[in-house]
Amino acid sequence: MTSPTNSPTDTRLRTQEEITARVKALESMLIEKGIMTTEAVDRLAEIYENEVGPQLGAQVVARAWTDPEFKERLLADASAACAELGIGGLQGEEMVVVENTDTVHNAIVCTLCSCYPWPVLGLPPNWYKAPAYRARIVREPRKVLAEDFGFPIPDDVEVRVWDSSSELRYWVLPQRPAGTEDLGAFELAALVTRDSMIGVGPVGTP
């Protein structure tokens, strides 16, 4: 009788669990020794979740809004296009960008765990990792977007949900808002939100 082999998915899950356990242990040790406080750890997580990472993604989006040739390259090979701007690395080796249009709205999830394009979006928010979001956004995306995020999608717009994995991480190219024709890349980037690149929220207005 042969012993069962481990699937790639099982191996990835164990690896992720081991990394998470090590990070938690290191965090606990730093706090216990007084090197860091819980508040400092929370603030660092907040910075990478809401500020550093999403700002890079916003730069990519603004470039795509203002440069049709770059947008074409981004949709064809997101990782390579981001690398043109010096953006890439761990958790961003293979990224795919899906474009919102007048007739299609995209949202991303990782139903298996919490795979997420860190180089452009920073750390995943807690709700992205929650089982409730991971299960419901696939089954009833319109309801989740409207009720959980206050972001209703018109009935005549198709909603597509993309399931990320450790091999392939999706993110969204939101539509450029109206009335921004005279704005430069820096001003446009300021309108791009993390949630708009996940597909659960709108971009800002000028």
Active site residues: 110, 113-115
Would residue 192 count as lying in a domain?
yes
pLDDT above 50 (res 9) = no
Enumerate the β-bridge partners of residue 173: 99
pTM: 0.77
| Residue positions counted in the chain | 206
CA distance 19 to 90: 14
H or E element in which residue 98 lies: strand 95-99
Phi, psi of 121 (to 5 degrees): -120, -5
Domain of 117, CATH number, reads: 3.90.330.10
pLDDT confidence tier of residue 2, bands split at 50, 70 and 90? very low
- Determine how many CB atoms are found less than 10 A away from the CB of residue 54: 24
Q: What domain count does the chain have?
A: 1
What are the tens digits of pLDDT across the range 33-91? 766 677 755 655 565 555 556 999 999 999 999 999 999 999 999 999 999 999 988 77
Residue 81 lies in a domain: yes
Token output for 89: 């690395």
User: Is 58 inside any structural domain?
Assistant: yes
Q: Are 12 and 166 in contact (CB under 8 A)?
A: yes
Residue 203 lies in a domain: no
Q: State both tokens at 104.
A: 């299609």
The answer to the question of residue 135 being in a domain is yes
pLDDT, average across residues 154-160: 97
Alpha helices by DSSP H, the chain: 8-32, 38-47, 53-66, 68-76, 78-84, 118-121, 126-129, 131-139, 141-149, 185-189, 194-198
Of 30-34, 114-118, 171-175, the least confident? 30-34
Task: Evaluate whether residue 89 is within a structural domain.
Answer: yes
Query: Residue 15 in 3-state DSSP?
Result: helix
Domain span at residue 68 reads 9-198
